[in-house]
Structures are given as C-alpha cells and as structure tokens.
Amino acid sequence: MLLISCPNCGSRDETEFHYGGQAHVAYPENPNELTDREWAEYLFYRDNTKGAFAERWLHSTGCRQWFNMLRDTVTYEIQAVYPMGSPRPDAAGKVTADTGTASTAADSTTTGNASPDISGTSTSPTSISSTTAPEGATP
C-alpha cells in the first residue's frame, strides 16, 4: 500500500486515490491537422518508463482534486508531488524543461547487464515528497 501525500489533505492511503495516467501529455494545438497516426499516438501512446515517471493522480474520496506525482516505477518511491499545470521537477525536486515524454530513467532495453541501471534515477534523500503536506493538514 502506498502512502500518498495529497497536497490538500496530507498523507492518505493509496485506496483513496485514482490513477490518471501519464502527466504532461498536451492536447494537440491543431487536432484537425493531425494525421490518423499522430492522433492515435496522442490518444493511446504512452511511455512505459522504468524509473522516475510523472503521472496524474486524483484524491477521489478526499478533496477530489487532481495533482501530479513523480514516482519511481521500480522502487515505488514518491519523489515529488506537485500541482497540475506546473512543469515536471527532476528527481531531486528541481524544475526541468517540460518535454512531455521526458524520462530521466536509463533506457533499460539497451543495457547489456542484467541488473537495471538506476544511475539516471536519483533516489537521493533530497526528494521533496515528505515536505508536500500543507500547513494545517491535520491528519
């Protein structure tokens, strides 16, 4: 069970939340000009990242608000919780350019060694997840 820090309510069980898929997938500026393939890619193609992954979550049985979360898909470590609309922070909590499909994870499909290369995914203790509970969030 994950313990997720809702920006409004503080730490709550994972069962109170709903997953909203990959974050930072922007709606195309001119959908009519897209080819079928580009439209299909917008609709259905998502990253399958091994490592830090930016995703959307909804606190459905709490404050019913959406937020973004940077989560390591291997270790489940929550590296950052940040509001909708703000750019993706890197694993250390700093803001990087929003490239939409960016992933700081090493491409595990090209590594020769069996063990996953986690050099690209900082699991340093500088993660800001522990500081995201707002002031006054009692629980």
Partner 1 sequence: MAETAAPATSAQKNLSLRVSPAAPLGAAFEAGSVQGVVELREVPFLTMVGLRVNRNSGAGERVASVTGGLPAGCGSVSGTGNTSVLWLGPEEFLVVAPTEAHESLGGDLIQALREALGGEAGQVVDLSANRTTFELTGPRARAVLEKGCSLDLHSRVLQAGTALSTEIGNIPAVLWKTGDESFRIFPRASFADFLGRWLLDSMREYASPEVP
Which residues contribute to the site for partner 1 (CB under 8 A)?
8-10, 12-13, 15-16, 60-65, 134, 136-139
Residue 129 CB, nearest distance to partner 1 (Å)?
18
Nearer to partner 1, 8 or 73 (CB): 8
Q: For residues 4 and 107, what is the distance between their CA atoms, to the nearest angstrom? A: 27
Nearer to partner 1, 36 or 135 (CB): 135
Residue 59 CB, nearest distance to partner 1 (Å)?
9
Residue 70 CB, nearest distance to partner 1 (Å)?
22
Nearer to partner 1, 8 or 108 (CB): 8
7 forms bridges with which residues in the sheet? none
Nearer to partner 1, 53 or 67 (CB): 67
Residue 10 CB, nearest distance to partner 1 (Å)?
7
Q: Which two tokens stand for residue 76?
A: 């489940």
Residue 2 CB, nearest distance to partner 1 (Å)?
12
Nearer to partner 1, 4 or 91 (CB): 4
DSSP string, 33-98: GS-HHHHHHHHH-----SSEEEEEEE-TTTT--EEEEEEETTT--EEEEE-TTSPPB-TTS-B---
69 closest CA partner among 9, 129, 3? 129
Q: Is 116 helix (H, G, I), strand (E, B) or coil?
A: coil
